[in-house]
Amino acid sequence: MSEPILQSIRDIESRAHAAIAVAVAIETLQAIERDVLGKTGQLSQILRGLKDLDDSGKKSVGQAGNVAKRALEAALSQRKSALESAVIAEALARDRIDPTEPAPRRHAGHEHPVKSVMRELEDLFESMGFTIVDGPEIETDYFNFEALNIPPNHPARDTQDTFYVEGGHVLRTHTSGLQVRAMRKYGAPLRVVSPGRVFRNETQDASHEHTFHQLEGLVVDEGISVAHLKAVLDELLERIFGERVATRLRPHHFPFVEPGLELDFQCRLCGGKGCATCKQTGWIELCGCGMVHPKVLAAGNVDPEKFSGFAFGLGIDRLTMMRHAISDIRWMMSGDLRFLRQF
């Protein structure tokens, strides 16, 4: 008499097992649980009818019903945890972070154009046998001025006014302070360049900044002449522009060189005919230079009777401006991303 009920329990159970086995969502399992094991579920309804059965029917159906219920509960919870770990694994795979992946290009920083030119010049001079040396940006009054034959009341100080720091230090007005420092440290013969930041008390305009960059060059040896100076700077320009460039030397006063000179090169835009860039002269000024003054050699503990030398001070900002056709030096220190992102 209870056999048809037992059969329907087996049917319910096997259908439920089949549905659990193919379920791919937690919600599906919850629906199966509700339909079969819930208060009004199929199995619960059968068990509720137990009271109408005889004793042996109560026993066999009750037993079968409970066994089926426990088996289904176990199957549901097993399938549920399997689905949960699949969900976690999928999330992990989706959200994986690769810390070695490069940042998107637009967020990456890069070298400042002045720094690139500086590095290029360093490479050029290094290949010509120069050593690269570094000097302090906060320099003593002595190395910046006095050792370079610029005593306290010399008028040359007016053109290189700077920021004075307590204790006799100044923010260096040029890289020339390296001349005496290098001679004292390395002695003669000597071939060094020293790039770096320099500072002046300037009224700012399109061609004047309070902070800019120079590269100092110094060669000391026996028998050094202006011809060597010109040869090195001609070579430098040829390497920068990829072809021979006409240059000229003209006299200029710097207290620490004798003779003091300025080197110009022929304007690349007009070929020397005269244009706005070269202010109609046909020439563009490259650097101050000259033969190291005997007093400066002596300050560097180098014997002026035995050795001679030349020095030059290149303006790196100006070279960078010429390379990229930048018309205003104030862009250089601006930190303006609209400017910097163009390089």
**Residues interacting with ligand PHE, by CB under 6 A?**
174, 176, 254, 257, 288-290, 311-313
Q: Is 79 exposed, middle or buried (0-12, 13-18, 19+ CB in 10 A)?
A: buried
| Cβ at position 219, least distance to ligand PHE in Å | 11
Q: Least CB distance from residue 227 to ligand PHE, whole Å? A: 16
Cβ proximity to ligand PHE, 65 vs 177, nearer residue: 177
Q: Which is nearer to ligand PHE, 237 or 257 (CB)?
A: 257
Least Å distance, CB 254 to ligand PHE, is 4
Q: Which is nearer to ligand PHE, 61 or 286 (CB)?
A: 286
Q: DSSP secondary structure string, 280-337?
A: TSSEEEEEEEEEEPHHHHHHTT--TTT-EEEEEEEEHHHHHHHHHT---GGGTTT--H
Tally of helices (H runs) and strands (E runs) in the chain: 12, 10
Dist CA 147 CA 157 (whole Å): 13
Q: Output the smallest distance, CB 338 to ligand PHE, in A.
A: 30
Q: Round to whole Å and give the CA distance between 4 and 57.
A: 11
Residue with tokens 């992946």: 101
User: Between 68 and 310, whose beta carbon lies closer to ligand PHE?
Assistant: 310
CB nearer ligand PHE, residue 233 or residue 322? 233
For ligand PHE, which is the closer residue by CB, 174 or 181? 174
Asked if 343 contacts 331 with a C-beta cutoff of 8 angstroms, the reply is no
**What's the min distance (Å) between Cβ of 309 and ligand PHE?**
10
Nearer to ligand PHE, 3 or 137 (CB): 137
From CA 266, how far away is CA 284, in angstroms rounded? 6
Give the pair of three-digit tokens for residue 329: 């030096």
Q: How far is CA 164 from CA 144, 157, 160, in A?
A: 12, 12, 12
Question: Distance (Å, rounded) from C-alpha 327 to C-alpha 206?
Answer: 7
Cα–Cα nearest to 193, from 172, 173, 179: 179
State in angstroms the smallest separation of the CB of 252 from ligand PHE: 8
Q: At its nearest, how many Å lie between ligand PHE and the CB of residue 289?
A: 5
Q: What secondary structure does DSSP assign to 188-214, as a single string?
A: SSEEEEEEEEEE-----BTTB-SEEEE
Least distance from ligand PHE to the Cβ atom of residue 311, Å: 4
Q: Which of 196, 290 has the CB closer to ligand PHE?
A: 290
Q: How many CB atoms lie within 10 A of CB 147?
A: 23
Q: Is 277 helix (H, G, I), strand (E, B) or coil?
A: coil
